[in-house]
Amino acid sequence: MSKPRKLLVLGSDGGSVALALTRALGRAGHHVVVGATKQSPVAGASRYAQSTVTFSDPRESVAQFRREVRAFNQQQCELVFGVNDAALLPFMVEGADPLPGLVAPTPVVWQRAFNKRTAAQSAREVGFIVPAEVIVHSLADVEQVPEHWPLVVKPQSSKVIIDDALRNLRVRVVRTKLELTAALDALLPFGPVLVQNFISGDGVGMSGVCQDGELVQAFQHRRLHQPVGGGGSYYRISETLDPILHQKVRQLVGLLSWHGPLMVEFLHTADGAYSFVEVNGRWWGSLALSLKAGLNLPATQLELLQGQQRSKLGSYRSGVASRLLTRDAPFVWQQYLGRGPIGHYRVQLTTWGLVKHLLLLLMPNERVDEVAIDDLKPFGLIIWRWLGGMLKRWLGRLQLWLISIWHRLPTITHHEHQQLLARFAPGRPLLFVCRGNISRSPFAAALLASTIHRSAGLAIKAGDRATEQTCRVAQRYGANVREHQPLAVDESLLEKADTVLVFERQHQLELGQRWPRFRHKVFPLFALDTNPAGRRDIIDPHQAPSDIAERSLARIHQYVTVILERL
């Protein structure tokens, strides 16, 4: 065991990765401080977390985030383990002063892997199969892109710093030239864009810890459940190192002169080939699986930093499966309802299939990321928050039911339907208000295609964007919500609007409670439905199954069409 050290786990809002990292370092006898940008992160509830410190959110001010982390680290911790790109990028951009003790390669080396274009070039140099690609510098280059649908559109980097704020850029899968143009239009302001052929296969990751360009210890896993649009897997299984793949990853590490944690992602195609996807120069989403398979990679990384004897390669159990329960349970439930994808196909899970998933949890080789017998408090906190969220939703429904009983929010009558119609006229500004101002309200405002009509949200979150699914459906109606920036509703917006249109009764109630003097101008958009039975809440399409999202946006389009006829 290495000498106990005081360590900062930075970026602990990430949840499961931060929790796994905290447990790994704590079990190795080190003193762990959890650093997050919000109060009470799950990792902070671990018995292995000595304390928790809160920093400013880099999505709001990168400079302030840097200052606070440096000021804390100079006095408190010897080494810093970055959990995610949001924690690392502020210290890796050109011109930024290095963060003492950060367990990572030099900024130049890190950027070479973080940049998807240079990472793909490095992968080709060591002999990896990389999907055919076209580098697009402007919209004029669209004609050079072969129309082999679907295509994958990648920004050079998944995160950029714009005006001192960290911003996410998403990889997109496009299926038509119209979608391709919209994706390029959204990404080109941030640099050249990679357009690659879409490759179908099982996600495979090889991760490990490195020192001075050498892959010292490696771990391989295969994804079993994963979001089609990309992102971390929900359920995966450890497998024996593929010797050829392992050798090439070692060559890639040497080419990059990598130091610190690393994961290389691939797609294992039906013909047995491994197609390169990307390099993640940080701790990865399947870290909990490697721990449960018997490999403590964070502790090994510390041993290397202290010059201790290196552990042997491949010393872990294959066939161990672990799932991120908070994501995988809803995922499996959607399969049972027939609303979600497994792999790249839509499959309805049978009742027996659902029972088998439940029985799998009892199998000796099955694990749950969040659960550890020696550290149950974090899982208890997760369940407590889940129950609290469910209770809050049910209380909200109960409140609306009571209000309808007391006739404080009466059923919309035909007279009121006509009264609302009379409010629409040319030159009268409208304000659409939903919860987060990322899907419903910006879609409605975009359909009107006029700057006098605005949209806003009751509870916006910095960095939130509409899902790719919502963007595609909106685009079919001629509306672009892809790069919409959420805006919080305030008194000034309500003052300027002639009519305020909301999407749920709860929105109408909240606006009336917060700004009583504007209550007379707030109406539910669904009051425009000519069928009284159709005057019900419009479900939020954000993260909803595709059929529900399409119905919600279709209803909004239907009602906005009525408004357009009056303007």
- Residue 375 is classified by DSSP as -
345 CB-contact burial (10 Å; exposed 0-12 / middle 13-18 / buried 19+): exposed
DSSP string, 504-524: SHHHHHHHHHH-GGGGGGEEE
Angle at 134 between CA 132 and CA 139, to 5 degrees: 155
- Other C-beta atoms within 10 Å of 407: how many? 8
- Asked if 253 contacts 235 with a C-beta cutoff of 8 angstroms, the reply is no
- For residue 449, give every residue at least 6 positions away whose Cβ sits within 8 Å of its Cβ, in sequence order, or none: none
Q: Residue 191 — φ and ψ, nearest 5°?
A: 130, 180
Smallest CA-to-CA distance from 432 within 477, 476, 481, 384 is with 481
Question: Which residues does residue 130 pair with via DSSP β-bridges, in sequence order?
Answer: none
pLDDT in tens, 348-391: 578 888 888 889 888 999 999 999 999 999 999 999 998 988 89
Q: What is the DSSP annotation of 210-240?
A: EETTEEEEEEEEEEEE--TT-S--SEEEEEP
- Amino acid identity for residue 505 in this structure: R
Please report, as a single letter, which amino acid is at residue 83: V
Strands 522-524 and 499-502 come out as: parallel
Dist CA 414 CA 28 (whole Å):
69
Phi, psi of 444 (to 5 degrees): -65, -45
Q: Residue 27 burial (CB < 10 Å; 0-12/13-18/19+)?
A: middle
Cβ neighbours for 266, distance < 8 A, ≥ 6 positions apart:
128, 203, 204, 205, 206, 245, 274, 275, 276, 277
CB-CB contact of 154 with 173 (8 Å) = no
Which SS3 state, helix, strand or coil, does residue 499 take?
A: strand
User: What are the pLDDT tens digits along the chain (567 aa)?
Assistant: 557 789 999 987 768 999 999 999 999 999 999 999 988 899 999 999 999 999 999 988 999 999 999 999 877 788 999 999 999 999 999 888 889 999 999 999 999 999 999 999 999 999 999 999 999 999 888 888 988 889 999 999 989 999 899 988 888 888 888 888 888 988 899 999 999 999 989 999 999 999 999 999 999 999 998 775 567 788 999 999 999 999 999 999 999 999 999 999 999 999 999 999 999 999 999 999 999 999 999 999 998 888 765 545 558 999 999 999 988 888 888 777 765 544 433 445 788 888 888 898 889 999 999 999 999 999 999 999 989 888 987 887 677 666 656 544 556 677 778 888 888 888 889 999 999 999 999 999 989 877 788 999 998 876 678 887 788 888 888 888 887 888 889 988 999 999 999 998 888 888 988 898 998 899 999 988 888 777 888 988 887 777 788 889 999 999 999 898 887
Look at residues 430, 433, 429, 556 and name the one whose alpha carbon lies nearest to residue 488. Answer: 433
Radius of gyration for the alpha carbons in the chain, expressed in angstroms and rounded: 25
SS3 category, 259: coil
Bridge-partner residues for 345, per DSSP? 342
What is the CA 424 to chain-centroid distance, rounded? Answer: 38
Q: Report residue 151 as tokens.
A: 């295509």
- Which uninterrupted H or E stretch holds 330? helix 325-337
Q: How do strand 499-502 and strand 165-168 relate by DSSP bridges?
A: unpaired
